[in-house]
Amino acid sequence: MVATFVYGLINSAVLLLMALGFNLTFGISGVANFAYGAIYAVAGFFAWSLINTLHLPFALSAAIAIVVIGLAGVYLYRFILTRIRGLVISEVIATFAVSLVLLELLRYFGFIGSKYTLPVFVKGSVDFLDTYVDIQRLLIVGFAIVVLLALYLFTHHTRMGLAFRGIAQEEHTSLSLGINPERIASWSMGMGAALSALAAIVILPLGTITVDGGYDVLIDALSVCIVGGLGSTFGVVIASLIIGFAQQLTAMYLSSHWTMIVSLVALLLVLAMKPSGLLGHQKELEERV
Partner 1 sequence: MGTPPAGSERASYRKERIARGIKARSDDIYALTSYSEMCYLLFPRLVPIVGIVVVAFFLPVYWKKVVLSTCTFAMLAVSWDFLSSCGMLSLGQALFFGLGSFVAGSLNHYLNLPVYVTIPAATVIGSILSTAILLPVIRLRGVYFAMVTLILPLMLMRLIEATKILGGTEGITRLSPLPNVWVEITVILAAMWVALFALRRFISSDYGLIFVSIRDNDRAVMASGINIYAFKAQALLIGSAICAFAGAFMAHAYQFTGMPVFAMDYSILPIAASVIGGIGTLAGPILGAFILVPLSEFLREFGPLRIVFYGLILVICVVALPEGIFHYLSRKYSEMERWVKIE
* Residues forming the site for partner 1 (CB under 8 A): 32, 34, 80, 83-84, 88-94, 96-101, 104-105, 107-108, 215, 218-219, 222-223, 226, 230, 255, 257-258, 260-261, 264, 267-268, 271-272, 275, 287-289
CB of 90 vs partner 1, minimal distance in Å: 5
Kindly tell me which of 61 and 196 has the beta carbon lying closer to partner 1: 196
Report residue 277: phi and psi, to 5°. Answer: 90, 170
Kindly tell me which of 97 and 146 has the beta carbon lying closer to partner 1: 97
Kindly tell me which of 161 and 216 has the beta carbon lying closer to partner 1: 216
Kindly tell me which of 66 and 168 has the beta carbon lying closer to partner 1: 168
Beta strands in 38-187 (DSSP E): 125-128, 131-134
Alpha-carbon torsion, ordered 93, 95, 97, 101, to 10 deg: 180
Report residue 254: phi and psi, to 5°. Answer: -110, -95
At 1 the three-state DSSP class reads coil
CB of 140 vs partner 1, minimal distance in Å: 24
Distance CA 201, CA 108 (A): 23
Residue 185's Cβ-count burial label (10 Å; 0-12, 13-18, 19+) is: buried
Pairing of strands 125-128, 131-134: antiparallel
CB of 107 vs partner 1, minimal distance in Å: 5
Cβ–Cβ < 8 Å for 80, 94? yes
CB of 110 vs partner 1, minimal distance in Å: 10
Kindly tell me which of 158 and 256 has the beta carbon lying closer to partner 1: 256
CB of 95 vs partner 1, minimal distance in Å: 9
Kindly tell me which of 121 and 215 has the beta carbon lying closer to partner 1: 215
Distance CA 196, CA 44 (A): 10
CB of 261 vs partner 1, minimal distance in Å: 6
DSSP string, 212-248: HHHHHHHHHHHHHHHHH-TT-HHHHHHHHHHHHHHHH
Q: Is the dihedral of CA 260, 265, 268, 273 positive or negative?
A: negative
Kindly tell me which of 107 and 125 has the beta carbon lying closer to partner 1: 107
CB of 216 vs partner 1, minimal distance in Å: 9
